[in-house]
Structure 1
């Protein structure tokens, strides 16, 4: 599964929009309310076409609340038709989901190309062939807090088969409770060997184990992979513990929101990929797994030092998966090396041809997010100083501004050094 282009009409705040995507990571940047999440939701609607002929409850329909509204004669009016069309070389045909706001119905007849592709994949689950199934998953900003209604035991059951890898894959559920129960059951089953299908559990859990270890070593460079362990502790109501170093282990729930958010995300992605393709090791998943994953606010609750590495670990674990990711973190943008960057502003999307990898955070704030890292009155004073040096270098106010700014930000500040150099240069020009 891959989406190469999407066309949106009257969906949320977007009147008409067409965006082409890359095969790897597509990163969307914008302020709150700019439409970042709306883009992901539109992509999810297109991905839902995969389930239009089988597992229809797993589709992502367009809701009446998502139809664009406009002012007509002073009254808010819902546009009669909303549509989302996707294009993919893998499917070789476009597919469209239409929504009629009057009947409040989704028209599914034009989704058939994606549904036929999905049916072919899903039918293969009942055969002995080892065709790789695409990974499809959505992670909303509620992924840490909003509990899924589906029981964790159903998700865990190895006899449920490969289809379980698509369980609630396009819902905005949290993954916390489900994952902890699955992880606890899997750890216990591996230790006791008492459940039918334990070989499958072993491989899936081994992939999760390795992915967690790889992630932690990637983020915390002083860790040693042989010291990282996941286990259950009977004395603590069988909580799942994560040991980072000898004699240092805590229940996963005890770690910070940002830490848990990252760990749960990695576990869920690797669990789904392993469940869909249960004969593949983590190394083989890295080589063969493809699909589409949407992640809203990847920087959620993370320390800036960790924000810098989040996309890198996903690319390292699953380099052939197409990721659609949103952020408003300048740290994420400044550390985004491989992929396509899109700026969302006023319901328009502009693909950036210039890379911001390695740029200063301040430059990203100004040029990408339209923000300024400085205290606003201080920045206004700097702007006034630079304008005076350029237009009226003999103005006595310049020295006053320099003295005031020296007290505020010091002489070693880059803008101060720039102002002093320009002022000195202007004296020689006279």
Structure 2
């Protein structure tokens, strides 16, 4: 069962599909469970994922993802615009929601004993290529802090071409990879 937390973890297209199937199932189980101990477990899992998404999306105003049974899709709330269908959001929003939900989902699967605190208490290392991809420049300035708030015990190793992302982290945490015809080395930056 522990291996289930790592299923398709290296597949770039698996994130939201894997999470979506699982989240829809636990939502239905939590809503209809005849067994209080299972209902409580599923509710704790949902809460852990909600906390992670809300922490990471705080600068955008989006929060509280849930599966809408009437619409048969995932929905998020925004204080100004109300409910929004996740599939109607920009690529940047969808990719970050997918990534955060996928990470939180895996943390809950791997550490069910941590319940609603799984995302906050699970240590790990996460590699993200081009964190700035599809993100609005304003969100590029907050995404690293938002990820650290959602997953405080995780070390994020990311790549970026964005000065907005680079300016949002301490310079001592930035490394430059030097390439010519082949890899030439790693250097520090001074800014």
Same fold (TM over 0.5): yes
Tell me: CA distance 1:302–1:246, structure 2 relative to 1, closer, same or farther (3 Å): closer
- Tell me by how many angstroms 1:247 deviates: 6.9
Residue from 167, 171, 177 that aligns with 2:11: 171
1:312 aligns with 2:153: no
Partner deviation per Cα, 1:113-137 (whole Å, 9 max, x = no partner): xxxxxxxxxxxxxxxxxxxxxxxxx
Q: Give 4+ residue runs of structure 1 displaced > 4 Å after superposition.
A: 281-285
Alignment of 1:337-356 (within 5 A): 337=170, 340-346=173-179, 347-352=183-188, 354=190, 356=191
Structure 1, unpaired ranges of 5+ = 1-160, 357-430
Residue from 249, 254, 265 that aligns with 2:88: 254
- Tell me by how many angstroms 1:338 deviates: 7.0
Tell me: CA distance 1:247–1:234, structure 2 relative to 1, closer, same or farther (3 Å): farther
1:229 aligns with 2:70: no
Alignment of 1:182-221 (within 5 A): 182-193=22-33, 197-217=38-58, 219-220=59-60
Tell me: CA distance 1:304–1:247, structure 2 relative to 1, closer, same or farther (3 Å): closer
TM-score with structure 2 length normalisation?
0.84
SS in 1 for 2:11: coil
CA–CA distance in 1 between the matches of 2:95 and 2:157?
18
Structure 2, unpaired ranges of 5+ = none
Give yes or no for contact 2:56–2:149 (8 Å, CA) kept in 1: no
- Tell me by how many angstroms 1:321 deviates: 2.0
1:326 aligns with 2:159: yes
Give yes or no for contact 1:342–1:349 (8 Å, CA) kept in 2: no
TM-score with structure 1 length normalisation?
0.40
SS in 1 for 2:114: coil
Alignment of 1:16-415 (within 5 A): 161-193=1-33, 197-217=38-58, 219-220=59-60, 223=61, 228-236=63-71, 238-245=72-79, 248-283=82-117, 285-286=119-120, 288-337=121-170, 340-346=173-179, 347-352=183-188, 354=190, 356=191
Structure with greater helix percent: 2
Tell me: CA distance 1:247–1:319, structure 2 relative to 1, closer, same or farther (3 Å): closer
Tell me: CA distance 1:337–1:281, structure 2 relative to 1, closer, same or farther (3 Å): farther
Tell me: CA distance 1:247–1:313, structure 2 relative to 1, closer, same or farther (3 Å): closer
Partner deviation per Cα, 1:261-319 (whole Å, 9 max, x = no partner): 11111111111111111121454643x42222111111111101111111112222223
CA–CA distance in 2 between the matches of 1:206 and 1:241?
16
Tell me: CA distance 1:243–1:273, structure 2 relative to 1, closer, same or farther (3 Å): same
Provide the alpha-carbon RMSD of the alignment: 2.5
